[in-house]
Chains A and B, each alone.
Chain A
Amino acid sequence: MDTKPREDSLLRQLLSPGPACASAQMLGALRNGTLEKEEALVLERHLAECSRCQTELKLLSDFENAAPRKGEEASLSWITSQLERRFSDDLAAAGEKAHGGAVRRWAGEFLLRPLQMGGLAAAAAMVLAGVVIAFRETRPPELGSPAPAPVVFRSGELSVFFPAGDLREPPGELRWQPSASASLYSIRVMEVDRTELWSAETRQTAIALPAQVRARIVPRKPILWEVVARDSAGRALASSGTHQFQVRNQP
């Protein structure tokens, strides 16, 4: 009997975040010492017995302390210069599109290109002078009329129940955890290259898979799916991230 798919499925479930696992935001707050004392104690207790959260904390710490290792400096420098150039081009293009003027192009051309401190200060001064023209027609934020409450999008914070891992047959439904404040859920089912097979919206926390979609889920073909919780305005509140399942070979 081929136990490999079953084992992979069990390992994936074993090592996926559980309901008690912390978000990156909480781990970051713990790391920075900005978490409430009570919350910190609870999280530390959980960390002591959760390899998933230990891994996330380690990755977050490494990310925030990132320094190039031997052999990485040249690639880091090359990629960074590419990013700066592309961003400057995008900035210039966005300015032209928004205002149809040549001034934005100047603002884009000289944005932060010189990396030396002296040049940086001069560039910043030119930027401030250049972008002012575009702001002439922009009204300052109005006092007294509060801006709409910003929506915090939390990727990976919507837990799914089913399906995941190896299955004996194509799933009849998809099920996930309710999300606070959600009015609607958007669901996508995709092939492994993210080509969409099917998408739908529902107000429930479960949805049946249509027969024609189930028919396309053949043995050993990995299928991805994700669900996004949305508020009444359609803005994304939380996402499950992408989950994978497949039907194992028929014995």
Chain B
Amino acid sequence: MQGPENAQPDSCSAVPPSGVSPAEGGRGLDSLSDAELIASHLASGENASAWVQELFRRHYAKVVLWCLRMAGEREEARDLAQSVFAKAHRHLASFRGESSISTWLYTITRSECMNYLRGRGPRPSAMDDGLLEEVPGDPAASPDEALERAQSVRLARALLERELTETEKLVFTLHYGDDVPLDSITRLLGLANRSGAKAFIVSARRKLARAIARWTATQERLNS
């Protein structure tokens, strides 16, 4: 691999690039903070720059590991990670520093990964037995019915919060809330048990079914 010592640029200048203060003229890129890298990149007016590449390099591992765990296959994970950084690059000018770069990249990574999973098609059903048959509310065909259903949702949310363990809630939320396949959840959360995320789904559904049955029985007693 050709090293930098063999590079022969046309000419050199002692003037540091825009965005790097004279005091920093001699600093390597790795000594600049994330904020300084962004400022230097944006001040340069260039679309692509060494600063933004250094910025992203610092966060490759976070994004790549997430994509790898979601996709489960390295070529797909690579393409996914590239789309994350491409999107981050396009929106870099809109980053206002209200969160850390890491948090910002997390939102992009999460969004891209969820879109990728949706694009792979509907997730296979984990279970066929009806879990929430007793929870009132029909599929909404109008906004008014949607509001009524919101009350049922609040009830179900309270039961979920009360009955499930932390891991069960995580798995349940990702699988049913975000349509993340169970194998992706197993990798994402690093679940080491034999059945992975499926075991937690089974356990969570069992607990919720019992809680809903108890609630229904209580309602019937109150109404009788």
A binding-site residues for B, Cβ under 8 Å: 3-16, 24-25, 27-29, 32, 49-52, 54-55, 58-60, 62-64, 66-69, 72, 75-76, 78-80, 82-84, 86-88, 90-91, 94-95, 98, 102-103, 106-107, 109-114, 119-136, 138, 140-141, 150-153, 155-156, 161-169, 175, 192-194, 222, 224, 235, 241-242, 244, 248
Which 6 A-B pairs give the minimum distances between C-beta atoms?
Answer: A15-B177, A28-B103, A94-B48, A11-B176, A166-B139, A168-B141
Contacts of A162 in B (CB 8 A): 140, 143, 146
Partner of A114, one of B4, B45, B107, B118: B4
Nearest chain A residue, comparing its CB with the CB of B157:
A14
Tally of chain B residues near chain A (CB < 8 A): 107
Contacts of A194 in B (CB 8 A): 115, 119
Bound-state CA distance A56–B91 (Å) is 22
Contacts of B138 in A (CB 8 A): 6
Bound-state CA distance A49–B169 (Å) is 11
Q: Is A224 a contact partner of B103 (Cβ separation < 8 A)? A: no
Contacts of A122 in B (CB 8 A): 3-5
Distance in Å: Cβ of A193 to nearest Cβ of chain B: 6
Q: Is B68 a contact partner of A76 (Cβ separation < 8 A)? A: yes
Q: Is A112 a contact partner of B153 (Cβ separation < 8 A)? A: no
Nearest chain A residue, comparing its CB with the CB of B160:
A51
B binding-site residues for A, Cβ under 8 Å: 1-5, 7-13, 15-18, 20, 25, 28-30, 43-50, 53-54, 56-57, 60-62, 64-68, 74, 77-78, 81-82, 85, 91, 93-96, 98-100, 102-104, 106-111, 114-115, 118-119, 121-122, 125, 128, 130-133, 135, 137-141, 143, 146, 149-150, 152-153, 156-158, 160-161, 164, 166, 169-170, 172-174, 176-179, 188-190
Partner of A112, one of B2, B53, B111, B150: B53
Q: Is A129 a contact partner of B9 (Cβ separation < 8 A)? A: yes
A87-B56, A126-B7 in contact; A76/B139 too (CB < 8 A)? no
Distance in Å: Cβ of B223 to nearest Cβ of chain A: 22
Q: Is B50 a contact partner of A55 (Cβ separation < 8 A)? A: no
Q: Is B115 a contact partner of A161 (Cβ separation < 8 A)? A: no
Q: Is B29 a contact partner of A132 (Cβ separation < 8 A)? A: no
Contacts of B131 in A (CB 8 A): 7, 11
Distance in Å: Cβ of A23 to nearest Cβ of chain B: 8
Q: Is A76 a contact partner of B61 (Cβ separation < 8 A)? A: yes
Q: Is A52 a contact partner of B141 (Cβ separation < 8 A)? A: no
Q: Is B176 a contact partner of A60 (Cβ separation < 8 A)? A: no
Q: Which of A94, A112, A161 has the most CB of B within 10 A?
A: A112
A50-B161, A132-B15, A135-B44 in contact; A6/B9 too (CB < 8 A)? no
Distance in Å: Cβ of A58 to nearest Cβ of chain B: 6
Bound-state CA distance A95–B160 (Å) is 54
**11 contacting pairs across A/B (C-beta < 8 A):** A10-B153, A11-B177, A12-B179, A14-B160, A84-B60, A114-B3, A132-B12, A132-B13, A133-B13, A167-B141, A175-B143
